[in-house]
Amino acid sequence: MKKVIVVANRLPITAVKRSKQVVFQPSVGGLATGLSSVPDLRSVWIGWPGMTSEKLNSNEKEFIEKRLAEDSFRPVFLNQNDLDLYYNGFCNKTIWPLFHHLIQYAVFEQRLWQSYDRVNRIFRDMVLEVADPGDIIWIHDYQLMLLPDLIREQLPNATIGFFLHIPFPSFELFRFLPWKKEIINGILGADLVGFHTYSYVKYFLDSIRRILGLENTYGEIIVNNRLVKVDSFPMGIDYDKFSNAATDRNVKREISRIRKNVGEKKIILSVDRLDYTKGMPGRLEAFEYFLENYPEFKGKVTYIFVAVPSRTKVEDYRFLKRQVDELVGKINGDHGTFEWMPIWYVYSSVSFSTLVALYIIADIALVTPLRDGMNLVAKEYIASNVDFKGTLILSETAGVAEELGEAVIINPANKVEIAGAIYDALSMTDKRQIKRNKDMHQRLQRYNIKKWAMDFTGTLDSVKKMQEDLNTKRFTMDAKNELVASYFASSNRLLLLDYDGTLVHIGESPEKADPDEELLRILTAVTDNEKNEVVILSGRNRETLENWLASVNLKLVAEHGAWIKEKEWEAIEPPMTDWKKEIRPVLEMYVDRTPGSFIEEKDFSLVWHYRNCSPELAQVRVKELKDFLLTLVANLNIGFIDGKKVIEVKDMNINKGKAALKWITKRDWDFVLAIGDDCTDEDMFSVLPDTAYSLKVGLGSSKAKFNVGSVKEVRKLLEALA
Ligand code: ADQ
């Protein structure tokens, strides 16, 4: 049976030492519940068990390994140095603040990065030990962003999913990260990349476009000839666990205990890890503002403020603790009386029964993070209140706000608005509360943690199937051997080769695509064989081809078939260029409105280049220009090609197909091979005889018989023919 290997920084169980004995604290999170419900999957977890190596002797380590193995957990042991530099360092001082748009807290230090890289490799080694062919490897969160690609390097066919639980930042912030390219490439080692919301998906795709120059189609990207899908999967909760809790005896007991202590006052609740992303000081100030501006509620409202200790080794968190302590003290001091304490401050983790009792008893849940990947507390609050009562006040900047739009949505930086929302919520009728909460309830019930886990693993499965479909036309070793054999058995051969993207890799600057020594050597060897006729069919102009390829005895086709050179250059048809004077002013207008773009004029075409423009602006302009050209082309008998970062307007009677036909019909060839990479080469593929071999470089549908991986593979093939 295939298994899912869940890799996360922490295991769902923590080892601690009590009176010199190692004991375990189970902390079953939502993820474990979700995965246990995916049919036909057995799961193995890999993660840090919670104690550093220095605190364990070899017997204790062995004991931990044995005990964890009973639950199919595999520990990754980290030492104190790793914990300081990787976890408390790069993870929580660099990535966490930056990804939450709080760059003022972020530090960028080489040694922290090096440790992150090293620890990701330690995790990789454990995955390699555990993984069998066919397993699903599901990697979680920001601590392990390099891991997908590290595994891919060793297991090229592995099924890898990656899910980020925190927000992905906008490019304007992400660009500050000195290791942004490594991080993006690391994540793209996965087959499926998931985020909580569509906004994070957009930010991620935007960074890929800007950093790697890779475009996507509906979230699908081709990375090194492998299809990668990026999509949103809003994480759900264990709905039944929370919605059934109201009838639990322990929960009922907790409710009476809390009610006895608070009395009949209205209850406002907040529950979070003590973290600067959660907006705690701003929330406390908003509560103070509420008391000052709605004094009629003094003595009638209690704010239960639960904060779970978190990352206490990081100075910013200690500072926040002091800040929160002071604010709570100040508000209680300024407004409290002998009979009434405005804020009940609990700085500890609470049991499940207490947590749900608080959710049920609270009239208001105040969830006001500055930024939050999702925020499960908001979902748990709604799910626990099966009578649909209570009001959720929610930050617009929490991922969960995209799903729970019926909540009272506020800006966490606006204390006046938050105070107003508290006032409205306290005055809200039951009827209105029920109406708001019912829809949210149903949504949480439907898209619960099980559905989420099945959705992610199911999508991962379908991505693998899509990859297989794309691979069916792959140019395998057998296909290559057959082609080579047929080549050597023939004596009258025609080779039709595109240039850019086929013989040379198109990098950032297409003007620097001149042939390197290796290519010239290969082309010379192939053309020197008198049984071969080799034609380069390119979109480039005559001068460029002439300059670059003069030293080789090639036949040339320039401007997509407009010019042909056997001995001298000849126009395939008399040039028809009247249309240029109408199109040029249009393109000039686009140059003026799109900084970085420029026009290239060829004999038979006009080309608008936009590779140096801002990708967003270019996307808009390309769409506008194409719409505009569509209205013009029919009358002018021209067409346009939506090429690689270019729009080329040209006479549609001229194409590579026509030029190729000129050669195909010239002689009775007993071997024909055509290789190309983009839409202009499809015209060439479509005129080939059935017996011809044709290869498209890269993935994607094509009239060519085979897809070949890269320019490198094309060169290898030509070398084999030399
Ligand atoms: P967190 O930042 O930890 O998670 P959150 O989504 O609210 O934030 O999850 C906290 C969990 O801890 C909840 O399930 C809650 O019940 C529990 N919890 C909180 N306070 C507690 C307390 N005092 N005692 C006991 N339990 C408590 C990260 C991201 C989030 C994202 C989650 C899941 O930062 O944005 O929603 O992962 O992907």
Digit-coded pLDDT (tens) for 586-602: 999 888 888 889 999 98
Q: What is the pLDDT of residue 459?
A: 95
- Residue 614, classified by CB atoms within 10 Å of its CB into exposed (0-12), middle (13-18) or buried (19+), is middle
Q: What is the pLDDT of residue 12?
A: 86
- The mean pLDDT of the chain is 93
pLDDT of 471 strictly over 80: no
Measure Cα distances from 90 to 112, 566, 622 in Å: 5, 61, 40
E runs forming strands in 348-406: 364-367, 391-395
* Structural contact between residues 631 and 605, judged by C-beta atoms closer than 8 angstroms: no
Which of 498, 651, 678, 681 is labelled catalytic? 498
Whole-model pTM? Answer: 0.82
Q: In 219-255, which positions are buried (b, 16+ CB within 10 angstroms) versus exposed (e)? A: bebbbebbbbbbbbbbbbbbbebbbebbeeeebeebb
Length of the chain: 722
| Residues sharing a CB contact under 8 Å with residue 185, sequence separation 6 or more, in sequence order | 149, 212
Closest protein CA for atom 15 of ligand 1:
377
| Residues sharing a CB contact under 8 Å with residue 476, sequence separation 6 or more, in sequence order | none
Closest protein CA for atom 1 of ligand 1:
375
Closest protein CA for atom 3 of ligand 1:
273
* Structural contact between residues 148 and 189, judged by C-beta atoms closer than 8 angstroms: yes
Residue type, 559: E
Q: Which of 162, 273, 368 to mutate to test the pocket of ligand 1 (most atoms within 8 A of CB)?
A: 273
Query: Which ligand 1 atom is at minimum distance from the Cα of 310?
Result: 3
Residue ranges covered by each domain of the chain: 4-232, 240-441, 477-573+654-721, 580-650
* Structural contact between residues 563 and 572, judged by C-beta atoms closer than 8 angstroms: yes
Domain spanning 4-232, CATH architecture: 3-Layer(aba) Sandwich (3.40)
Q: What is the mean pLDDT of residues 490-496?
A: 97
**Ligand 1 center from residue 136 Cα (angstroms):** 26
**Ligand 1 center from residue 376 Cα (angstroms):** 6
Question: Where is pLDDT greater, at 470 or 447?
Answer: 447
Q: What is the pLDDT of residue 35?
A: 67
| pLDDT tens figures, 154-210 | 999 999 999 999 999 999 999 999 999 999 999 999 999 999 998 999 999 999 999
Class of domain 477-573+654-721 as given by CATH: alpha beta
**Ligand 1 center from residue 365 Cα (angstroms):** 14
| pLDDT tens figures, 297-334 | 999 999 999 999 998 988 999 999 999 999 999 999 99
Q: What is the pLDDT of residue 508?
A: 61
Q: In 321-332, which positions are buried (b, 16+ CB within 10 angstroms) versus exposed (e)? A: beebeebbeebb
Q: What is the pLDDT of residue 181?
A: 97
Q: What is the pLDDT of residue 28?
A: 52
Residues with CB under 6 A from ligand 1: 165-166, 235, 271-273, 306, 308, 349-350, 355, 372-377, 380
In angstroms, the CA 535 to CA 180 distance is 42
Q: What is the mean pLDDT of residues 662-666?
A: 94
- Name the residue with tokens 């120059």: 213
580-650 to CATH, choices 3.30.70.260, 3.30.70.1020, 3.40.50.1010, 3.30.700.30: 3.30.70.1020
Q: What is the pLDDT of residue 52?
A: 95
Closest protein CA for atom 37 of ligand 1:
165
In angstroms, the CA 270 to CA 256 distance is 19
Does 690 participate in catalysis according to the annotation?
A: no
* Structural contact between residues 470 and 17, judged by C-beta atoms closer than 8 angstroms: no
| Residues sharing a CB contact under 8 Å with residue 581, sequence separation 6 or more, in sequence order | none
Query: 477-573+654-721: same fold as 240-441?
Result: yes
pLDDT of 32 strictly over 80: no
In angstroms, the CA 17 to CA 51 distance is 9
Q: What is the pLDDT of residue 711?
A: 92
**Ligand 1 center from residue 380 Cα (angstroms):** 10
* Structural contact between residues 13 and 73, judged by C-beta atoms closer than 8 angstroms: yes
**Ligand 1 center from residue 401 Cα (angstroms):** 15
pLDDT of 36 strictly over 80: no
Q: Which segment of 216-225, 355-364, 477-486 scores lowest on mean pLDDT?
A: 216-225
Closest protein CA for atom 20 of ligand 1:
272
| pLDDT tens figures, 254-280 | 999 999 999 999 999 999 999 999 999
pLDDT of 636 strictly over 80: no
pLDDT confidence bin for 108, thresholds 50/70/90 = very high
Question: Where is pLDDT greater, at 443 or 42?
Answer: 443
Q: Which of 100, 162, 277, 374 to mutate to test the pocket of ligand 1 (most atoms within 8 A of CB)?
A: 374
pLDDT of 30 strictly over 60: no
Q: What is the pLDDT of residue 619?
A: 85
pLDDT confidence bin for 710, thresholds 50/70/90 = confident
Q: What is the mean pLDDT of residues 646-651?
A: 91
Class of domain 240-441 as given by CATH: alpha beta
Instruction: Please state whether 355 falls in left (phi above 0), alpha (psi between -120 and 50) or beta.
Output: alpha
